A and B are shown apart, each in its own frame.
Chain A
């Protein structure tokens, strides 16, 4: 399951994109997004994001939105 970045939370710092081993994270306007076809789900971006805004499966996604 590829990671996703929660747009509302992302501050656009780009830290995650420097951590990604397969360069799956790209800049989209002011935030960053993950290319689902490239992501190998290593979660490196998740552990490094200062805003904790990268998430895994749909369940996790929902949890964060409602929080």
Chain B
């Protein structure tokens, strides 16, 4: 099966769609004005907005995204209600910052230019997301969290963080910056830092306890910080892991933020025990009603010192999570993303700078938040150097492995891959016990067993739901993610099978896909 390489996806647009630097800057200004003037979030206005997005889109990937949005709006998909919620319910400041920073800067606009330049200089595309642990300290001691495995004293200085963010924004074109920890709000200067990057959006993964009224006021003024609350089910399950009273406290903070009109979301940590309740329709509905605009489904990953693989959601549960989050975003005005089940959207594992990169609180550059191995530290090298290291290059290059993006993970789904990288590139462990899951036989055998089950189950569903992207409408799939298929059962019964056959029962002209494939082949042969 042919997988569209990211390089092609992010290739800057040439020809007719190309908009030069000045024009693009102008466009961004126009988008800003339109968002300001939109006031009423009528369907027509929003459709016009997507047309504008399409014009300023700097790569094939973002053109596709804009087209898809328009298509959703035109068909009255609940995603339209999500946009209307953003436009009507949020404080104008937060609304504009989110739309501009996330969509215009983050995906469509100026970053594409920087990305193209970066590619020219370095030979690979930079990630779109920089995840930073701004501190390792936390006022909670949740079961299963690795934050306390790290030594607590060595958080990066304000200057180091600035240097890192400057490089990320100005050189790599990254505007989407999730911050984790520890608890990011423990760092008193975190909001000062966010203030210095008004064109970046900071998604702050937080336990919520430190969101005082004063801070909420400040968030409203800043507009570019979106808290993401950690939850793990209803009151009993959440409190069991996170401490008594946590659930109630988070509910209260959500009400406050909703009132203030601040963009916020929820990050769910799923385990074997709490999966059923966290993915239930009632729970999803509750989150949406409470005002969560973005809900992330993360599953527990056995990382840290002596982790316990039996806590992970089972392979069957992962299928359920995928379906539940898919249903939620296709029925509720809430965006949901399943970190593993939505692998196809990101074309497999995003680690190592393929789409994202993690810098821990000490400054070590790790391929993924769940892989605590590094070769570089931002204190004495640049992010670009770290990304270019053989270790990161391999992590980027190997994905999406055999092409089944429903088992994207080199930690739990294909553990031999990460073990191989560890052996070959010898990255250092960023805390004691970081490589336990790669070296301790009793943990390894449990993960192997898990991987086997995942393989069996997801291989089957990969054949049946080929390219189940974030929003395929009934009977609509992508041909190689570029051309839409309108047939429920495409050629050969497998989405993607048509490509090799050169035609599809939906009657779509696949010559574009063929041309693209030939182009890829040509490039690859030239590269030999």
Contacts and interface: CB of A to CB of B under 8 A. Distances in A.
Interface of A: 13-15, 17-22, 38-44, 46-48, 50
A8 B9 CA distance: 34
Interface in B403-453: 403, 410, 414, 416-417, 419-421, 424
B395 interface: yes
A40 B398 contact: yes
A13 B424 contact: no
A22 B401 contact: no
A20 B399 CA distance: 10
Given A38-B424, A40-B421, A21 B394 contact: yes
Interface residues of B, number: 26
B424 A40 contact: yes
20 contacts: A13-B525, A15-B525, A18-B527, A21-B393, A21-B395, A21-B396, A21-B397, A21-B421, A22-B394, A40-B419, A40-B424, A41-B414, A41-B417, A42-B414, A43-B403, A44-B397, A46-B402, A47-B3, A47-B403, A50-B521
B528 interface: yes
A50 B424 CA distance: 28
A4 to B, nearest CB: 15
Given A13-B525, A15-B524, A15-B525, 4 more contacts: A18-B524, A18-B527, A20-B397, A44-B402
B196 to A, nearest CB: 37
B95 to A, nearest CB: 42
A14 B397 contact: no
Query: Which residue among B394, B419, B420, B528 has the maximum number of chain A CB atoms within 10 Å of its CB?
Result: B420
B501 interface: no
A22 B527 contact: no
Contacts of B421: 21-22, 40
Contacts of A17: 528
Given A14-B525, A40-B421, A19 B401 contact: no
A41 B420 contact: yes
Nearest to B397: A21
Contacts of A22: 394, 398, 420-421, 424
A66 B528 CA distance: 31
A42 B525 CA distance: 22
Contacts of A15: 521, 524-525
A40 B393 CA distance: 14
Contacts of B416: 40-41
Contacts of A13: 525
A44 B1 contact: no
B398 A44 contact: yes
